[in-house]
């Protein structure tokens, strides 16, 4: 499988793509960068809760070659039939065999409640809601995607936007770290079972988004606050556009192992 994993991924043909969390930050930047690489007759479905912000993302992706569809969907609450329906609705007028590539970017994510110390976590409903959005419904959406494109499964490409926190513990971020770890392992297992599907776990590095401000405002963990203050004061935060470019470069070069974890700072 090593040889297959080293094969370039050519997005210049007609490509169908779903991108979650597309209304801001990394998701918006990936959408805008991806639109530059997609070939004629490509179709991109953008999903997030905020429809107005999705419209702004769609505007950034405008191209004569591709069609942009966006739908407001709360992926913390959406059911499997709703997910399946939004995919089929986006494909109206198309056949799945029209596409040379069928791509999904799982970018949706949240940090969880940072105001509760790890040893004090006990609110089961809050934890369930966190894992619904960040793990369970990511898996559910991925399953619906695979159902739709089962006939052309060898054309499927999956990108999970992960984090260094999936493989390295970070004080004060128990929900985030455990959620990212569970989600990444799911995709690693899928890649192990479905060796003809290309699966990438991409870690974007510390990025300048609203999540940084949320951490500084909400965390009760002094170590976590110090780490993020250091990122800001040293100018170490990456612009979303920069890490989006790296993500597309890693994807198209295709050098990652099946389900491999590739970080922004990894060597080329």
* CATH assignment of the domain containing 68: 3.40.50.720
27 falls within a domain: yes
81 falls within a domain: yes
210 falls within a domain: no
215 falls within a domain: no
232 falls within a domain: no
Tell me, what's the pLDDT at 4?
Answer: 42
Structural domain of residue 78, as residue ranges? 2-205+241-263
Using the predicted structure, report yes or no on whether residue 119 has a pLDDT greater than 70: yes
Q: How confident is the model at residue 63 (pLDDT cuts 50, 70, 90)?
A: confident
pLDDT in tens, 208-267: 988 888 999 999 999 999 998 998 888 889 999 999 999 999 999 999 999 999 999 997
Could you tell me if 111 and 23 are in contact, meaning their C-beta atoms sit under 8 angstroms apart?
A: no
Number of structural domains the chain divides into: 1
The arithmetic mean of pLDDT across residues 196-206, rounded, is: 97
Q: Which residues are CB-contacts of 227 (< 8 A; sequence separation ≥ 6)?
A: 170
Q: How far apart are CA 178 and CA 73, in angstroms?
A: 24
The arithmetic mean of pLDDT across residues 46-56, rounded, is: 97
230 falls within a domain: no
Read off φ and ψ for residue 11, nearest 5 degrees: -95, 10
DSSP alpha helix (H) spans, 101-136: 124-131
217 falls within a domain: no
Q: How confident is the model at residue 6 (pLDDT cuts 50, 70, 90)?
A: low
Q: How far apart are CA 11 and CA 214, in angstroms?
A: 35
229 falls within a domain: no
pTM attached to this predicted model: 0.95
Tell me, what's the pLDDT at 7?
Answer: 85
């Amino acid at each position: 499988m090593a040889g297959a994993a080293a094969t370039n991924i050519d997005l210049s043909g007609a490509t169908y793509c779903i991108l979650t969390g597309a209304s801001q930050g990394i998701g918006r930047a990936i959408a805008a960068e991806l639109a530059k690489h997609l070939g004629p007759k490509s179709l991109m479905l953008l999903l997030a809760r905020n429809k107005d912000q999705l419209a702004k993302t769609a505007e950034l992706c405008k191209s004569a070659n591709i069609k942009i569809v966006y739908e407001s969907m709360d992926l913390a609450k959406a059911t499997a039939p709703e997910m399946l329906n939004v995919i089929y609705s986006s494909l109206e007028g198309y056949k799945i065999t029209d596409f040379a590539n069928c791509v999904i970017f799982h970018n949706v994510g949240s940090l969880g409640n940072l105001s509760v110390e790890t040893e004090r976590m006990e609110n089961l409903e809050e934890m369930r809601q966190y894992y619904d959005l960040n793990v369970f419904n990511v898996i559910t959406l991925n399953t619906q995607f695979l159902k739709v494109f089962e006939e052309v499964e060898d054309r499927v490409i999956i990108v999970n936007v992960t984090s260094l926190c999936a493989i390295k513990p970070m004080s004060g971020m128990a929900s985030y770290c455990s959620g990212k770890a569970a989600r990444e392992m799911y995709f690693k297992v899928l890649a192990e079972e479905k060796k003809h599907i290309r699966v990438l776990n991409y870690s974007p590095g510390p990025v300048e988004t609203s999540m940084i401000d949320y951490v500084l405002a909400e965390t009760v963990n002094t170590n976590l606050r110090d780490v993020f203050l250091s990122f800001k004061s040293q100018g170490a935060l990456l612009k979303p556009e920069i890490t989006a470019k790296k993500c597309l470069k890693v994807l198209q070069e295709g050098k990652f192992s099946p389900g491999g974890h590739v970080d922004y700072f990894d060597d080329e």
